[in-house]
Amino acid sequence: MSPTAVRPTALPPDDPAPPPAGGQAAATPLRERVAHQLQRRGAPVVLVLVAVIASISSSTFPTWSNISSILVGNNFVWLLALGMTFVIITGGIDLSVGSMYALGGVLGAYGAQHGGSLVALVLPIAVGAAWGTVQGLLVARARMAPFIVTLAGLLGARGLMQAISNEGATTYIVPKNSFFASLGSGTWVPLLILAVFFAAGTVLLARTRFGATLTAMGGNENAAVLMGLPVARAKVLVYLLSGTVAATAGALGAARLQSGVTTIGVGYELTAIASVVIGGTLLTGGSGTVGGTLSGVLLLGVLHNLIDSHFSQYGSAFTDLVNGAFLAVVVLLQTLLSRTQQLS
């Protein structure tokens, strides 16, 4: 087994399962099924509940301006969670996405200022793909822990971004009215881009051989190798995908903000991991959906929006506190639910 920071196989719980009492044996599968469905589909259910309650109790929440700000006000950060979903399903983790987002933004703005819209798109994508490939090779070929490789990636990518922007002294400006700037402006174009990305992600994970390989790897890597699946290649591709998507998201974010912001992206990898976990993807790998992640980012977005509008007088610190507590509760619930499934 390769040394990974996240153990790829779930252990049974510390307590041996209590034997089901007589007469309840038939009810256990049902309970398991319910728990499984809750864990997989808890996020969309909670999302709908929260949205309905918010719409009834607040007059500002259900307005189109508010909804659109939730949907596209995140500057494409949701895409980080999309890429992260693929990595986590294989039982890995990618801590470098926040730095890649910032690097992609600076590269995109640099390209837009000095080369035009095509360069602005190609440059970040190329660098993101190269960076992701190196990380993937270190994880797959050198068998290093994803946690460490991408932690070094987090440092290195931020360093590279600082170097390109002369220690943050230079801010590259995206020319107004360029094709590149139009990709990030308004509501409909960004929304369409997000939709395309998530739709493509869903198809890739649920409907292709590559997606099936990833899920099999996360479930049991040794078994996947023995079945003859191209595990090493899939690993490299997953980090390549995550790096590329993160850099692209950064570039699109720069198009929206009209400049390459150097202070952006710190801690975004954690938000991405949180969204993926809330969406029902297991950190141990082997199970998860893009739709779940979409529910996760939407739920966090809606909650952020609600907390901001209701508790803005308490400041961002309070938002952090509520977010942390919320994440803890969700994770506790999910762990309990997945344990229920293991009690067979």
Partner 1 sequence: MTTLSWAGGMDRSRARRLLQDYGVYAALLLLFVVAVALNGSFIEMSNLRAQLLQVTPVLVVALGMSLVIGTEGIDLSVGAVIALAAAVLPLYLGYGFGASLVVALVVGAVSGALGGAMVAFVRVQPIVATLSLMIGLRGLANIINGSSGKPVTDSTVADLGTGNLAGIPVMTWIAVVCTVLTALVVRRTTFGRQLVAIGDNRQAARLAGLPVRRVLMTVYIVSGVLAALAGVMLVGYSAESDPSTVGLNYELNAITAVVVGGTPLTGGRVRVLGTVAGALLMQLISAVLQQHNIHQSYQQIIEAALICFAVYAAQERGTR
- List contacts with partner 1 (CB under 8 A): 1-7, 11-14, 93, 138, 142-145, 147-149, 151-156, 158-163, 167, 270, 273-274, 277, 283-284, 314-325, 327-328, 331-332, 335-336, 339
At its nearest, how many Å lie between partner 1 and the CB of residue 16? Answer: 10
At its nearest, how many Å lie between partner 1 and the CB of residue 110? Answer: 15
At its nearest, how many Å lie between partner 1 and the CB of residue 216? Answer: 19
Which 8-state DSSP code applies to residue 261? -
Residue 124 CA to residue 237 CA, distance in Å, equals: 17
Residue 258 CA to residue 105 CA, distance in Å, equals: 10
Which 8-state DSSP code applies to residue 1? -
Q: What phi-psi label fits residue 21: left (phi over 0), alpha (psi between -120 and 50 degrees) or beta?
A: beta
Q: Please, where are the H alpha helices in the chain?
A: 27-57, 64-72, 78-89, 97-114, 117-140, 146-164, 179-184, 188-207, 209-219, 221-226, 231-257, 268-278, 290-311, 315-342
Residue placing its CB nearer to partner 1 in the complex, 212 or 331? 331
Token reading at 234: 């899939």
At its nearest, how many Å lie between partner 1 and the CB of residue 281? Answer: 11
Q: Are 201 and 290 in contact (CB under 8 A)?
A: yes
Which 8-state DSSP code applies to residue 179? H
Q: Shortest CA distance to 2 belongs to which of 92, 105, 99?
A: 92
Q: Which residues, in sequence order, are CB contacts of 115 under 8 Å at separation 6+?
A: 123
Residue type, 198: F
Residue placing its CB nearer to partner 1 in the complex, 22 or 167? 167
Residue placing its CB nearer to partner 1 in the complex, 227 or 266? 266
Backbone angles phi, psi at 300, to 5 degrees: -60, -40
Residue placing its CB nearer to partner 1 in the complex, 21 or 167? 167
Residue placing its CB nearer to partner 1 in the complex, 154 or 224? 154
Residue placing its CB nearer to partner 1 in the complex, 193 or 337? 337
Q: Which residues, in sequence order, are CB contacts of 204 under 8 Å at separation 6+?
A: 86, 210, 211
At its nearest, how many Å lie between partner 1 and the CB of residue 145? Answer: 5
At its nearest, how many Å lie between partner 1 and the CB of residue 93? Answer: 7
At its nearest, how many Å lie between partner 1 and the CB of residue 142? Answer: 6
Residue placing its CB nearer to partner 1 in the complex, 194 or 283? 283
